[in-house]
Amino acid sequence: MLKEKGYFQRIRNHVRWLTGVVVVFLIVAATLITYQYTNNQVIEPDYASKIVVDPSSVQGAPSSGVGYRSKFDSPKRIATYASASRTPLEDLHGTITPSDLHFERHHAGIPEIDPDQHELLIHGLIDKPIRLKLADLKKYPSVSRICFIECSGNFRYGKREMTPGEVCGLTSQSEWTGVLLSTILRDLGVKPEAKWLLAEGADGALMARSVPLKEALTEAIIAYGQNGEAIRPQQGYPMRLVIPGFEGNTQIKWLRRIEVTDEPVMTREETSKYTEKVKNDKIRMFSLVMDARSIITFPAYPKKIETGWQELRGIAWSGRGKVAKVMVSVNDGKTWQEAHLQGPILEKAHTAFKFMWNWDGKPTRVLSKAIDETGYEQPTYSQLVEARESRGGYHFNPVVGWDVEKSGQVYLADIKDIL
Amino acid sequence: MNSKFMVSFILGCIVVLLLRCSPAGESTAFTDTGPESWTDNLEEYKKTWPDKFGIGRSADKDFIARWDIDVRPDGKGLPKGTGRAKNGALIYSNKCASCHGINGVEGPEDNLVTSSNGRNTIGNYWPYATTIFDYVRRAMPFNAPGSLTDQEVYDLTAYLLFLNGIINVDYSLTEQTLPAIEMPAKRKYVLDDRQGGPEIR
């Protein structure tokens, strides 16, 4: 009996021991699996790998639903505030801004809008007020147009270590697709006393702006497409107003209402904001059109250049039409030469300019100046200050330059020193 | 058959060679195809459009009334009501002071009341009193936009005008009196006169 009891005791001990091992194993396995699923990061060795794989001798990555950038060249927006981010102009090629690098400015965050729940109401001084869903909007004949959108508060300076995007990255260019506002209003019977329209967004700020009807009707688009896809939430999904050449704030995103009126509403954004102090103690309002401007994006901070030939590059644009000419100086304004403009030169669009320059290694300053088809020449800081008796504010578009030091290092030139 | 084929093959080869070797102009010169515009052929396309599209559904008066929230300087859009600064003071300290300061000057957000710091405020920069009503009702308070009742908006508007020394503390602000208030900054406002061309403005 005792012998038998000891035997069972031993078996029981074995079973206990085995159960213990299995439990420990299961805990370890569960921990590892949880770790794998919760930790998505690729584990990189913390030393430089000596193994270089020749891409022509291995199979590459498979295809995917959505493409991605090369990990070696992946520009980011410059986030300045929670309510704004800038386009890294210095990282772009050509003139189209990738949609995910388009600058952002919002006054109550980015709303998430289900297009099935969203409607655009058009009413006011018209015979037939209507409600349109996104699907309705897409039924109208469509237009596509490449143009820039620029915030009118798009100039920063104050230190040498600033990139083109930090100086004026609140401008971006897209191909916008949608319906001309005139196409829709043609159906609705606009009354003769109609002079303005109020556009209102569906965001937390119910952002609203008044725009003169005559100017808006010729070119305004109610857009739903941006660079071949739906407008991104940051740019106004599912629909926004695009008024080529006008200041960005008028191009209401998340558009939910258009009221045709005889008078401007005088919203906060067209009185307390987006107005600028000018001379004789005046405040200028409804400064809607963006004046001509340019910036050299190479060479620019933080780049360092080598002596010899380089292609000086930049973008120029005007809200009043085409860029006629861009003049560049590689000797701090002593002499100016005409840059090559990349065609097609489109109205109210970023236009790329280039200039071949043989740098001799001596410290110098490079400058650019846009001239548009109306004959407007981009002013210097001192010319603007003199004309407005104001040292900044909205619609401040001075000539900007870059100092090239002996080492080839490039810095933002002191704006007050550009004559 | 075979020789005919050979002959035509050889002839063909010669033609191709000649075509390839012939100097077809400067190889680096490009023809300018002229301006391109988003309006190219648009007028022609428009001629194919029907007279009416008839898209969307009509909006009735009730629907429009619910959405039509803007308030203009002439008072159009103002609901009936009476606002008092005293009532506004309490609402202000509960819902506004944390961003704009207890006296409207301490921030961290925009200064609302004129002080010696030179900032733009309702008192020294806003040209129309109706804009206060429109904006506060539209977008404030920041953490709960659109949550204020019309009565609260009236009282707050009265309080902000009182803090800026524009109305007395016991002034009754109504849909009649609000549009009649002359704001100090209004005389400063001018319309944009930039128009392109060589002049810098």
Mean pLDDT of the B54-59 span: 97
> Does the distance separating the beta carbons of B38 and A144 come in below 8 Å?
yes
Secondary element (H or E) of residue B44:
helix B42-46
Q: Number of A:B CB contacts under 8 A? A: 165
Is A336 a member of any domain? Answer: yes
- Choosing from A228, A245, A265, the residue where a domain stops is A265
Q: How many CA atoms lie within 13 A of A261 on its CB side?
A: 23
Six-digit token pair at B61? Answer: 């008066």
What is the maximal distance between C-alpha atoms in chain B? Answer: 114
Q: List Cβ neighbours of B55 (8 Å cut-off, separation of 6 or more).
A: A130, A132, A136, A139, A140, A187
Question: How many beta carbons lie within 10 A of that of residue A179, not counting itself?
Answer: 24
B contact residues 163-192, partner A, Cβ 8 Å cutoff = 185, 188-192
Question: Contact, A185 vs A217, CB < 8 A?
Answer: yes
**A245 and A119 within one domain:** yes
**Residues spanned by the domain of A168:** 78-265
A234 and A379 co-located in one domain: no
Is the minimum CB–CB distance between B67 and chain A shorter than 8 Å? yes
Task: Answer for the pair A329, A183: CB distance below 8 angstroms, yes or no.
Answer: no
Residue A313 CA to residue B123 CA, distance in Å, equals 46
pTM greater than 0.90 (yes/no): no
Alpha-carbon gap, residue B199 to B201, rounded angstroms: 6
Based on the domain organization, do A147 and A249 belong to the same domain?
Answer: yes
Q: What local confidence, expressed as pLDDT, does residue B145 receive?
A: 97
Q: Please report whether residue A392 resides in a domain.
A: yes
Set of chain B residues whose Cβ sits within 8 Å of the Cβ of A344: 35-36
Residue of B nearest to A189 (CA): B52
In A275-379, which residue ranges form alpha helices assigned H by DSSP?
Answer: none
Residues forming a β-bridge with A304: A409
Segment A152-177, tens digit of pLDDT: 999 999 999 999 999 999 999 999 99
* CA distance linking residue A81 with residue A303, whole number of Å: 25
Cβ pair B59:A129 closer than 8 A: yes
* Cα distances (angstroms) measured from residue A125 to each of A109, A198, A242, A243, A273: 31, 11, 21, 21, 27
For residues A328 and A370, membership in a common domain is answered with yes
> The tokens of A65 are what?
């639903």
**CATH of residue A365:** 2.60.40.650
Residue B73 near residue B130, CB atoms below 8 Å: yes
Whole-complex ipTM:
0.86
Q: A163 lies in a domain? A: yes
B42: nearest CA in chain A?
A: A143
Q: Which segments of A287-390 are extended strands (E)?
A: 293-298, 308-317, 323-329, 337-338, 340-341, 351-359, 364-372
Looking at residue B201, what is its pLDDT? 93
Residue of B36, B54, B128 lying closest to A344 (CB–CB): B36
- pLDDT band per the 50, 70, 90 thresholds, residue B198: very high
What confidence category does residue B46 fall into, taking pLDDT thresholds of 50, 70 and 90? very high
Residues of A with Cβ-Cβ distance to B52 under 8 angstroms: 187
CATH number of the domain at A128, please: 3.90.420.10
Judging contacts by C-beta atoms under 8 Å, the chain A residues touching residue B138 are 205-206, 208, 267-268
Overall domain count for chain A = 2
Strand segments (E) across A237-322: 240-242, 255-261, 276-278, 282-285, 293-298, 308-317
Tens-binned pLDDT, residue by residue, of chain A (419 aa): 556 777 888 888 888 999 988 989 898 888 887 776 666 565 555 666 566 778 888 999 999 999 999 999 999 999 878 899 999 999 999 999 999 999 999 999 999 999 999 999 999 999 999 999 999 999 999 999 999 999 999 999 999 999 999 999 999 999 999 999 999 999 999 999 999 999 999 999 999 999 999 988 899 999 999 999 999 999 999 999 999 999 999 999 999 999 999 999 999 999 999 999 999 999 999 999 999 999 999 999 999 999 999 999 999 999 999 999 999 999 999 999 999 999 999 999 999 999 999 999 999 999 999 999 999 999 999 999 999 999 999 999 999 999 999 999 999 999 999 98
Residue A96 shares a structural domain with residue A241? yes
Q: What is residue A2's predicted lDDT score, i.e. its pLDDT?
A: 59
**A284, part of any domain:** no
Residue B149 forms contact with A (CB below 8 Å)? no
- Nearest CA to A357 among A345, A366, A349, A348? A366
Nearest-by-Cβ selection for B53 from A121, A140, A374: A140
pLDDT recorded at residue A6:
78
Q: Which chain B residues are closer than 8 Å to A321 by Cβ?
A: 196
DSSP summary character for residue A190 = B
Cα B72–chain centre separation: 15
CB contact under 8 A, B139 and A206: yes
Residues A245 and A302 in one domain: no
Q: Does residue A37 lie in a domain region? A: no
Contact (CB<8Å) A121/B196: no
Cα–Cα distance measured from residue B143 to residue A191, given in angstroms and rounded to the nearest whole number: 39
Distance from the B188 Cα atom to the nearest Cα atom in chain A, whole angstroms: 5
- Domains of chain B by range and CATH? 80-186 (1.10.760.10)
B114 in contact with A, Cβ within 8 Å: no
Composition of chain B by helix, strand, coil, percent to 5: 40, 5, 55
**Are A170 and A235 within one domain?**
yes
Residues from chain A contacting residue B32 (CB–CB below 8 Å)? 343
**Residues A259, A137 share a domain:** yes
pLDDT above 60: residue B16 = no
Domain match, A94 and A243 both: yes
A220 and A302, same domain (yes or no):
no
Q: Are B154 and B82 in contact (CB under 8 A)?
A: yes
Name A241's bridge partners: A222
Does residue B71 sit at the A interface (CB-CB below 8 Å)?
A: yes
What is residue A8's predicted lDDT score, i.e. its pLDDT? 80
A215, A316: one domain: no
Whether B22 shows a pLDDT value over 60: the answer reads no
Domain shared by A135 and A230, yes or no: yes
Domain membership of residue A43 (yes or no) is no
Is A39 a member of any domain? Answer: no
> b/e string for B177-200 if b means 16 or more Cβ within 10 A?
bbbebebbbeebbeebebebeeeb
Residue B7 pLDDT more than 70? no
Residue of higher predicted confidence among B178 and A31: B178
Q: Is residue A72, in this structure, part of any structural domain at all? A: no
